[in-house]
Structure 1
């Protein structure tokens, strides 16, 4: 299974964009009107279509598996002796120790999501749901003032810098080795 997941890294996004678009359009979308909750067809032109298909990717799975292998097995065995089940071991020991891996996954997943161009161009029609990278193109069509375009481009890097600053400490340090003495 792990080899199959890693093999998906070799497939470029352009090869499965159209089947993903068809599949996403078949999913039901909840909506509410004055009569109550009802379901419409397709997730087109929503914010969820820009996020949900890309939450779990092969690189994140690979990074977590490699990080989990570095966590000492003595911690798991000690928790089993204390009577903890597998969910308690995962939620109370493994996930708190995987802060650096989580920070790395957040940073390395946020950057491509923020810079996406092709997928939002395919699935979003309204201007309210379009991300900033498509906004750069529309901004260039509206004006050819390169000073304003560069100012806009500089401003859209601020969220990336903010995400890195928030997760910087976990990104550069590892605490997995501090769990076991000896």
Structure 2
């Protein structure tokens, strides 16, 4: 989740400079970013339908892969402006769903028992990545020669996050809802 959040937050903060490098005015780029916010709302509205049709593992994987693909596409596609705006909206849709995937990560995997402690363990590194995202995006742009390369790298980070997410959903066979092992033959309860 931290790698995915890093990619998501760097994209949000650095979309305007990317679009400006693509020839859009900063005003038009800001409107595109705002339309990405509309996309977030649309993503959140559609998330229940996605959740009803997919497992936690599949939903997380799909959202992270689509987000990675859209991010990389924004780095590769030079224009025209309407296509870049559509990319911004689609990035917003995936960002909106990602927010809900992150918000339900604990209960979807281990239930509500110990929610506060587990959510703190998940959220701390995610918030750290969100905090360094503005600096990281501009530092990467300086080292890589511009924002298009940054978005391609962020797409690759998103793919890595998606791959790692497949290992992040425990097999609940033999686990209680709190995530502790159920006693089996020769096994005692473990807290």
Q: Which bracket does the TM-score occupy, shorter chain normalised?
A: under 0.3
Identify, as 1 or 2, the structure richer in strand: 1
Identify, as 1 or 2, the structure richer in helix: 2
TM-score, normalised with respect to structure 1: 0.27
Larger relative contact order (CA 8 Å, sep ≥ 6)? 2
TM-score, normalised with respect to structure 2: 0.26
